[in-house]
Structure 1
Amino acid sequence: MEKRWTIKQPGDEATVRELAESLNISPVLANLLVQRGVTNFNEARAFFRPQLTDLHDPFLMKDMNLAIDRIDEAIRNNERILIYGDYDVDGTTSVALVYSFLKNYHPNLDFYIPNRYEEGYGVSIKGIDYAAETGCSLVISLDCGIKAVEKVEYARSQKIEFIICDHHTPGDKLPQAVACLDPKRLDCPYPDKNLSGCGVGFKLMQAWCRQNQVSEEPLFEFLDLVAVSIASDIVPIVGENRVMAHYGLKKLNASPSTGLSSIIKISGMEGREMNISDIVFKIGPRINAAGRIDSGRDAVDLLVSENESLAEMMSIDINVCNETRKDLDRNITQEALELIASDKSLLSRKTTVLFKPEWHKGVVGIVASRLTEHYYRPTVILTESKGLATGSARSVEGFDLYKAIDACSDLLENFGGHMYAAGLTLKPQNVPAFIEKFERVVSESIHPDLLVPQIEIDAELHLRDIDDKFYRILKQFHPFGPGNMKSIFATYDVFDYGTSKAVGKEKEHLKLELIEEHSAAIKQGVAFGMSQHLPRIKNGEAFHVCYSIEENIFNGITSLQVMVRDVKFP
């Protein structure tokens, strides 16, 4: 698929020059910092050396004082508290963090994860009934609840109060909870709007520590869970998330919790220094798989476990769930692609909406992501559950999917989510009308450029400028993720040194050796799935490459190579 290259707006020239001089770094690296809002020495120090003292006062969050007062009351009265969370990674890590930390000070706790298939997303009647049956008078909901107006009202009728900790966009009306903690509340002055659900749970416990004059050091031991939530929920890794991800990764690599350690081992990552990408592709999917295939409670049981042998057995079970998930994902994705390819009317649309009642509910979100990557357009994948069409939606870069779904809300029973990902439920008889209305809404509002995959390039770079010092500083930009993506560079008019070749089982990849005119620098590179370009490259044509820079370790020798994202011929 053809990709469009866009070059980021460079930083102010004078600011870049002054920053480069003060830090003794190249103008290219200084420009990367300015693009990220880092404009002076002190800001650069905060960026490269995040400190836990940089975290905001949790009491800046609207309703935080009410939440802490209610928790303290529950502890004084020895009330039973139910920690309630969603079944995905963010929800299960949230529950594991709050439950594991708070039980040290108030053992009269329980936790609850709704069943994806029986209860669906968020706060459920069954969960509230469980709270009533087990004598819980206070529920702390994590990563869900901000739209649960009727459910919270039902809980009040059962003499159960709620503290809601969420990070999703609220509806027009807030639930009648004791406290609604959500940085996205319009009336919430909290400075950082990008927290994960687990991040909000962390701030709740941080506030409790401060009000009760308890050391925060034991709480910081749970930052590995926060890092897993930040990476898996794909929230921006800026501000507080950058600080928490930084320290969470340090904990994950040095001394992870028993449960996370067992997942690291089963995923083959033991002994490797893990980064955000490893969490996204190795750890997160295994935690998620429990809720997709069996029960999200299994994931929490593992994450709160302190018994190594028991955690090892549970991680094996979760790994089996993950293998099942991969099979379902692969098969349903292939079926969905065949459905589109066989229908010309579907191929010509600006959206993809597919509904098949027998598709597995646990993987429709993954399938939606796969199809979005393949056809690069807003996508909704629906299955049937309890007589309703239910599923997941994914968007393309720059398009507000949540807003488009909201415009179709008259056809929906329920929906929620973010700009790029959402969940929705509707009556099966409304699916055809939704397909047409969603197509119309998107067609009228999406810019044509957004339907072409974009590679955002940070800066132009000469191959001769890629050296050990450059990479050593570039490496300190991590943790990488939304808001601080791994830098992509472009080099124009490069040539084959003469040794580039196709590699791989099907000779589908390229191993490159690149040179520029007027330079002796030779840079090795890898271009996955781009072997179609080899004839023109070997013919001596000049071409442009955009790429990231990586370390390559072979036979104990470390060298730098470019990981090519795209090739264009002028």
Structure 2
Amino acid sequence: MHVDLLKEKAIVLHSENWHPGIIPIITARITKQYNRPTMLIAIEGGMGKGSIRTISEFPLLPVLKENEHLLVNFGGHDYAAGLIVEEKNIGELKNNFIKSANNLLDEKDILSKMYLDAETNFDDLTFDFMESIKLLEPFGNENPPPLLFCEAKQVWAPKVVGKLHLKMYLEQKDRMLEGIGFGMAGRKNNLRKKHLSLKVVFTPHINVFLNKASIQLQIKDFKIKEPHKKKKEHSK
């Protein structure tokens, strides 16, 4: 993502090279990653088919109704919508959408947020515990899987797997668990030092490899815990 796009509080992109069937997935991912209202428009034959996703602080329908004169059609709800627009009107629609977001959203609104469910220890992460999590299913947008957090030490240096993902080896009270951070390969260099203390946000799941089940952490975020600095003693 080009850094200039993040100067605004909304993201609007369009292209003749996109398939309209794939853009809803990409729009949702961009919105989630950058915590901004996002509109992607696939152009073909002078017409654009758009997909929009947003954050809770910026409902879509009022903005779309304000720009109804620029649209051929639109539909959806306040947090996900689609539209059809003539190519000649895309520039004005883009400017209006970004202007509305810049006017309505504060800087704090576009900060990435995680709503954590509970602090836990590795000792709590048993197969019985995983069975109890299944009682909360099915998971989806309205019922996300639980987000837990804890402090743990990095035992070994992380590995990049599948070019994009980061496998981590974490320990707490003599129990080691593997963690996988999808799309986090770029953060490997932050973890060069051995035995780093980390604050980790994750969702636990059961991983089966060669018919052997183990509990693995799906890492959602992590932060290096800064060591406490000893206060200097001053001699009298």
TM over 0.5: same fold?
Answer: yes
From 508, 513, 520, the equivalent of 2:170 is 513
Deviation at 1:468, TM superposition (A): 2.5
Deviation at 1:544, TM superposition (A): 0.3
| Inter-partner Cα distance in structure 1 for 2:136 and 2:33 | 30
From 485, 498, 501, the equivalent of 2:158 is 501
Q: Deviations over 1:278-320 (max 9, x none)?
A: xxxxxxxxxxxxxxxxxxxxxxxxxxxxxxxxxxxxxxxxxxx
| Inter-partner Cα distance in structure 1 for 2:164 and 2:31 | 26
| Inter-partner Cα distance in structure 2 for 1:568 and 1:533 | 9
Q: Deviations over 1:27-79 (max 9, x none)?
A: xxxxxxxxxxxxxxxxxxxxxxxxxxxxxxxxxxxxxxxxxxxxxxxxxxxxx
- Number of residue equivalences: 222
Query: Is the contact between residue 116 and residue 149 of structure 2 (CA under 8 Å) also seen in structure 1?
Result: yes
Deviation at 1:397, TM superposition (A): 5.2
Query: Is the contact between residue 549 and residue 562 of structure 1 (CA under 8 Å) also seen in structure 2?
Result: yes
When the two structures are superposed, what TM-score results if normalisation uses the length of structure 1? 0.36
| Inter-partner Cα distance in structure 2 for 1:559 and 1:360 | 39
Matched residue, 1:545: 200
From 58, 77, 88, the equivalent of 1:418 is 77
Give the structure with the larger strand fraction.
Answer: 2
Equivalent residue of 1:456, what SS? coil
CA RMSD of aligned residues (A): 2.8
Equivalent residues in 2 for 1:349-360, closer than 5 Å: 349-357=8-16, 359-360=18-19
Equivalent residue of 2:149, what SS? strand
Deviation at 1:506, TM superposition (A): 4.7
Range with greater deviation from structure 2 (471-480 or 369-378): 369-378
Change (3 A) 1:365 1:527: closer
Matched residue, 1:479: 138
Equivalent residues in 2 for 1:184-263, closer than 5 Å: none
Deviation at 1:457, TM superposition (A): 1.1
| Inter-partner Cα distance in structure 1 for 2:168 and 2:18 | 40
| Inter-partner Cα distance in structure 2 for 1:394 and 1:430 | 20
Equivalent residue of 1:478, what SS? coil
Unpaired runs of 5+ in structure 2? 226-236
Matched residue, 1:377: 36
Query: Is the contact between residue 391 and residue 423 of structure 1 (CA under 8 Å) also seen in structure 2?
Result: yes
Deviation at 1:403, TM superposition (A): 3.0
Equivalent residues in 2 for 1:157-556, closer than 5 Å: 341=2, 344=4, 346-357=5-16, 359-373=18-32, 375-385=34-44, 387-396=46-55, 398-492=57-151, 494-496=152-154, 498-504=155-161, 506=163, 509-515=166-172, 519-528=173-182, 529=184, 530-536=187-193, 538=194, 540-556=195-211
Deviation at 1:562, TM superposition (A): 1.7
Q: Deviations over 1:316-338 (max 9, x none)?
A: xxxxxxxxxxxxxxxxxxxxx5x
Change (3 A) 1:420 1:488: same
Give the structure with the larger helix fraction.
Answer: 1
Equivalent residue of 1:393, what SS? strand
Change (3 A) 1:473 1:415: same
Deviation at 1:434, TM superposition (A): 1.5
| Inter-partner Cα distance in structure 2 for 1:396 and 1:453 | 10
What amino acid is the match of 1:349? E
Unpaired runs of 5+ in structure 1? 1-336
Change (3 A) 1:477 1:450: same
Change (3 A) 1:533 1:355: closer
Equivalent residue of 2:192, what SS? helix
Change (3 A) 1:399 1:512: farther
Query: Is the contact between residue 526 and residue 562 of structure 1 (CA under 8 Å) also seen in structure 2?
Result: yes
What amino acid is the match of 1:350? K
Q: Deviations over 1:216-236 (max 9, x none)?
A: xxxxxxxxxxxxxxxxxxxxx
Equivalent residue of 1:454, what SS? coil
| Inter-partner Cα distance in structure 2 for 1:532 and 1:553 | 28
Deviation at 1:489, TM superposition (A): 0.2
Deviation at 1:474, TM superposition (A): 1.4
Change (3 A) 1:500 1:456: same
Equivalent residue of 2:50, what SS? strand
Query: Is the contact between residue 502 and residue 511 of structure 1 (CA under 8 Å) also seen in structure 2?
Result: yes
When the two structures are superposed, what TM-score results if normalisation uses the length of structure 2? 0.79
Matched residue, 1:310: none
Equivalent residue of 2:94, what SS? helix
Equivalent residue of 1:377, what SS? coil
What amino acid is the match of 1:450? D
